[in-house]
Chains A and B, each alone.
Chain A
């Protein structure tokens, strides 16, 4: 309603200006410029950082009469380069969302909340946390987050509290890729999209799961003549943008990559000098892929052997400006049981191309050494001996200490083993819809003695919280400074908070104070930022004026990687220790659909981010619901036509959604875009629109990586309307 009022007011103003100028009676048909007149009157531009997704592009926020009217890319920012996606452009609709959280809330019944003051909320939460710590030990508290700029503060809180249980979203996103590259390369490289000459994406939907800087670069590379190949069971946004779409049987990408390695080694197409100098384990890799012929892979993938051989030869011919994308959430990230092997194979294939550090290959980012804020941050927290709640970092999960297994939370809450979990604080994460099995997650939340959610909106998880602490949106708050390449960038408020909300740092410090941990947080965010910026003679205040400032950065040293050998480990003993193979090897996906069911696959769309934008009026108008993609041959057998309502059922849940019959999907799979099917009535635009994919996905943990393996889900589909 707020929007309505304002746009009327603006309209009236504009009309008045038009009227005034019209009386001048110019015969020339130039329209009067009401906006220009207003710009002179009270417009200011605030440089800041976007938060409509996790990329954090630099933005320029146009504020007129105290109201954000437009958001543009900051030309000085290396990521935005003056440009923004639909979501970044729609940011003001999140700020002025009439359904957003407007003050702290306390749960008083199912879906019922009453306002509570910040002081009371902190006090009650603090008392409860102290009581639970006393009764069960500090490890009874778990903190779940999509780690953002404030993450160091969250970790500091947990360290001070004495719990090892800070847990991110990795297994629903990128665990497998990270584990593979951390062990084999000593870190996760990016792709030099701008200079690539031949680019292959296995499931990575570069133009669907959008990163603004990557889009700008890959389009530039395409313009310069790079060949782009999309391997995907679905005609994704990237599949139609690419020069070639390889419509692979879902879950079998690993076979295709292993066969490409086989061809490149057997035809001596690899970079022998690079392999000799910068890698270890080539002979083991060669032996390992000996049986993975293109003919073998053709049977598994449904892609002709001649195509596989051709792709391998084309890729190798373009080396070293040839890259296979390490990916994010898809095939190499988390979706299959064999995702880790797939990511390892991608890592090995890139190494054969000798592309690490080469123009158009894989690159590590430059590093900026920020100042040390620890002298501000109180006493050094005591070492924590308790094991993590999810077992990450020990035994068969030794390689995933940094990633955890957030999706196992519902099972672990039931088990009480090796210690009970009684409290959770959840910040900037909506695990009810971002993890597996929504219903199980809801049940787990109901079992806990304390659930605190920090967010800007009443998401599906907040709906089951005992306390909801509303964070100010990114247009109303500061955050710790960030670095991109050789730049430091600041998020700062464009407008003061519209409602009774606080910055994340104030909320965390408030919670700490209430738990008796105030001594760890006797510093402000500005002091913290000043400490980070001190080496560059900068302060938060100075950076606030500039928005983006260039600072010295250290280039990566590709000759000394952070692995035991200092080189790329094609044969990697670390994987053997956790029960896997020495070199990348074929593993079939966990499940195999038959004639009467489908593999369920999911992914992102360009106009939405996870479950965070489904109440944004501009973005919901672009895509108000998701649809179930189904192949015409399968749809015909089930009597399903585009627009029909179908029920999709898995072993853990059912959803209803519109069907979209399309030739752009493998007949074995059905696809649903992630980010729809909001379960909370108070978010009026989002509520009940489309289907929630997480409702269908059973709770799983893939071997070694602990990834949540969303696409190892079988579903049946039937027409219901």
Chain B
């Protein structure tokens, strides 16, 4: 069975946000919803400053915490590795948002549901590439099957010394013009402790009666590692 994933080549990425908007248009998202995000960073002191961008989205974790906390089964993992949301089943409780270690979930306030990058399953099931891959002017995004030794993603992983984000479907090729600090990339997968608490204690009851209060408790327990990574969002304040 396939295990689909993505490599992002930060030596090629120019930080244009084309991926973010192609994705928004593909999924008819609200303007404030970004499944793919572009972060800009600067490191060093003038005149020796390095800068660049890191792009992130749902990491399609091997063992996704968002799925574990979903009380309705809306969040599912397909056999090919895609973590998807059956939107008609989503009740908008937003527990998955707090469980996600990568801040990749996005609440659609008009539809009252939580969404995320689906790796454009509707496109790939037709043999097309995800919208972000297809539109990328820099050709910085590669999509393929990690289980296929001959796939493009495996090829790039080997030939370009890409950094695999453990426990996820992602790898990054670091920029070539400086030795990038690993902490600027999304961290290896680590399940937030609160997810266990949620799964073992809250969920059985939560399935019957869910309230925002419970969500608030869980929220307060969770730590969003990546959001605390000190990365400057392009065009916006932290």
Which residues of chain A have a CB within 8 Å of any CB of chain B? 4, 7-8, 10-11, 14-15, 18-19, 22, 28-31, 33-36, 69-73, 82-90, 92-93, 207, 210, 212, 215-216, 219-220, 222-223, 235, 237, 239-245, 247, 605-607, 617-624, 631, 642-643, 658, 662-667
The reply on B24 being an interface residue by CB < 8 A is yes
Q: B16 touching A621 by the CB < 8 A rule?
A: no
Partner of A663, one of B22, B28, B45: B45
Q: How far is the CB of B47 from chain A (nearest CB, A)?
A: 4
**Is the CB–CB distance between A89 and B21 below 8 Å?**
yes
Q: Is the CB of B237 within 8 A of A84?
A: no
A-B contact pairs, 14 of them (CB 8 A): A14-B87, A18-B88, A31-B76, A31-B121, A31-B122, A72-B135, A83-B139, A88-B18, A89-B25, A210-B14, A210-B137, A237-B15, A247-B47, A621-B34
Q: Which B residue's beta carbon lies closest to that of A220?
A: B139
Give the distance in Å from the alpha carbon of A659 to the alpha carbon of B42 in the complex.
16
Asked if A222 and B11 make an inter-chain contact with CB atoms under 8 angstroms apart, the answer reads: yes
Q: Report the Cα distance A243→B176, complex, angstroms.
A: 8
Closest-by-CB residue of B relative to A667 is: B46
Cβ–Cβ < 8 Å partners of A69 in chain B? 25, 28
- Is B234 on the interface with A (CB-CB < 8 A)? yes
CB nearest neighbor in B for A70: B25
User: Which residues of chain A are within 8 angstroms of B52 by Cβ–Cβ distance?
Assistant: 240-241
> Is B220 among interface residues, defined by CB-CB distance under 8 A?
no
Residues of B within 8 A of A (CB): 11-12, 14-18, 20-22, 24-26, 28, 30-32, 34, 42, 44-47, 49-53, 76-79, 84, 86-88, 110-111, 118, 121-122, 125-126, 134-140, 176-177, 234-237
Residues of A near B140 (CB, < 8 A) are 219
Q: How far is the CA of A643 from the CA of B77 in the complex (A)?
A: 41
- Report whether A663 and B46 are in contact in the complex, using a CB–CB cutoff of 8 Å: yes
CA distance A7 to B15 in the complex (A): 28
Q: Is the CB of A663 within 8 A of B49?
A: yes
Asked if A89 contacts B51 (CB within 8 A), the reply is no
Question: Can you add 18 more A-B contacts, CB < 8 Å, to A18-B88, A86-B18, A663-B42?
Answer: A29-B76, A30-B125, A31-B84, A31-B121, A71-B25, A219-B14, A219-B140, A222-B12, A223-B12, A235-B42, A235-B49, A247-B46, A247-B47, A617-B31, A622-B21, A631-B46, A663-B45, A664-B42
Q: Which residues of B contact A643 (CB under 8 A)?
A: 237
For A11, list chain B residues within 8 Å (CB): 110-111
Contact call B22/A15, Cβ cutoff below 8 A = no
Residues from chain A with Cβ under 8 Å of B236 in the complex: 623-624
Q: Which residues of A contact B110 (CB under 8 A)?
A: 4, 7-8, 11
Q: Find B122's partner among A19, A36, A83 (CB 8 Å cutoff).
A: A36
Chain B: CB-nearest residue to A28: B79
Closest 6 pairs between A and B when the two form their complex, measured CB to CB:
A623-B235, A240-B51, A621-B31, A89-B21, A207-B14, A86-B17
Partner of B51, one of A88, A223, A235: A235
Q: What separation, in Å, do the CA atoms of A237 and B77 have in the docked complex?
A: 37
Least CB separation from A243: chain B residue: B177
> A75 to chain B: closest CB distance in Å?
10
Chain B residues near A247 (CB, 8 Å)? Answer: 46-47, 49
The answer to whether A607 touches B25 (Cβ under 8 A) is no
How far, in whole Å, are A607 and B34 apart by their CA atoms in the complex?
A: 14
Contacts of A18 in B (CB 8 A): 86-88
Q: Which residues of A contact B53 (CB under 8 A)?
A: 240
CB <8 Å contact, A621 and B32? yes
Q: Are B17 and A622 in contact (CB under 8 A)?
A: yes
Give A14's nearest chain B residue, CB to CB: B87
Contact A244 B137 (CB under 8 A): no
Contact at B14–A90, with CB atoms within 8 Å? no
Most buried by B among A241, A624, A667: A241
Least CB separation from B237: chain A residue: A643
B8 CB to nearest A CB, Å: 13
With CB as the reference atom, state the residue of chain B lying closest to A228. B177
Indicate whether A84 sits within 8 Å of B137 (C-beta atoms), given known contacts A623-B234, A623-B235: yes
| Inter-chain contact A607/B46, CB cutoff 8 Å | no
Q: Across the interface, do A86 and B16 meet the contact criterion of CB distance under 8 Å?
A: yes
Bound state CA distance, A620 and B235, in angstroms? Answer: 10
How distant is B59 from chain A, measured CB to nearest CB, in Å? 19
Partner of A212, one of B11, B137, B176: B137
| Inter-chain contact B46/A666, CB cutoff 8 Å | yes
Q: Which of B78, B87, B137 contacts A215 (CB 8 A)?
A: B137
Q: Tell me, rounded to whole Å, the shortest Cβ–Cβ distance linking A70 to chain B.
A: 5
Known: A29-B79, A30-B125, A89-B135. A84 touches B18 (CB 8 A): yes
For residue A227, which residue of chain B has the nearest CB?
Answer: B177
Q: Are A662 and B42 in contact (CB under 8 A)?
A: yes
B137 with A618: CB separation less than 8 A? no
Q: Is the CB of A245 within 8 A of B14?
A: no
Contact yes or no, B87 A606, CB < 8 A: no
Contacts of B77 in A (CB 8 A): 29
Q: Is the pair B235, A622 in contact by a Cβ cutoff of 8 Å?
A: yes
- Do A607 and B14 contact each other (CB < 8 Å), given the known contacts A10-B28, A83-B137, A663-B46? no
B11 CB to nearest chain A CB (Å)? 7
Does B18 contact A83, Cβ atoms closer than 8 Å?
Answer: yes
Are A618 and B49 also in contact (CB < 8 A) when A216-B138, A606-B17 are?
A: no
- Chain B residues near A87 (CB-CB < 8 A): 21
Smallest CB gap from A214: residue in B: B137
Residue of B14, B20, B34, B44 with most partner-chain A CB within 10 A: B14
**Contact (Cβ within 8 A) B26 A70:** yes
* B122 A35 Cβ-Cβ under 8 A: yes
By beta carbon, the residue of chain A nearest B45 is A663
Which residues on B sit within 8 Å (CB–CB) of A658? 237
**Are A245 and B49 in contact, with the CB atoms below 8 A?**
yes
Q: How far is the CA of A25 from the CA of B104 in the complex (A)?
A: 29
> Closest chain A residue to B125 by CB distance?
A33
> CB distance A215 to B138 under 8 Å?
yes
Q: Is the CB of B177 within 8 A of A605?
A: no
